[in-house]
Amino acid sequence: MLIRIIGIGSPFGDDACGLEVARILAEAPPPNCEVIVADRPGVSLLELMRGIDAAILIDAVRSGARAGTLHELSFDDVARCAARFVSSHDMGVAEAVALARKLGCAPERGKIFAIEIAPAPARRAFTLSQTMRPALKRALDRVRSWAEELSRESAVSGHPPTA
């Protein structure tokens, strides 16, 4: 089973939180995982999701919730709530997931870990606010946990899990 973890964002301010989670995970990836840091991937996110068994996407969002909130959404959930989230990328994550599913290039299983950020001017590159530190820890723990759960399910069944 191949699980691809994709950290998404821009390198400026708190929007870099998805990139930072991926950078940390790349140092010691969970079993069966490949980690990619994707600076504003837009439509190229479709190619990053092609040919894998599961995808875990990590990105910053602004939905009006308290900064630091960790939203956990399956790919099915994304279709139902895509309008609530705003992305700074040319094609948002929700739109890319929906398009990949329509084109048949999305993996069977997928989850998005979206970290709520406050509207604020971007500071220096890769400088996260203090609000993001606990959120990063929660995101790291949940991503590792779900990746390990997928690996266990695959090992027990002898093949990739289905949705």
Average pLDDT over residues 96-123: 87
Per-range mean pLDDT, top range of 10-14, 19-23, 107-111: 19-23
Domain-by-domain residue ranges, the chain?
3-157
Of the chain, the percentage scoring pLDDT greater than 70 comes to 85
pLDDT digits (tens, 9 = 90+) for 58-107: 999 998 999 999 999 999 887 676 545 444 445 788 888 888 888 888 99
Handedness of CA 34, 139, 17, 97 (dihedral sign): positive
Q: What is the topology classification, in CATH, of domain 3-157?
A: Rossmann fold (3.40.50)
51: left (phi over 0), alpha (psi -120 to 50) or beta: left
For residue 73, what are the contacts with CB-CB under 8 A and spacing of at least 6? 81, 111, 112, 114
- This prediction's pTM: 0.86
Q: What is the C-alpha separation between 53 and 161, in angstroms, rounded?
A: 8
What pLDDT sits at residue 98?
A: 83
Give the distance from CA 31 to its chain's centroid. Answer: 17
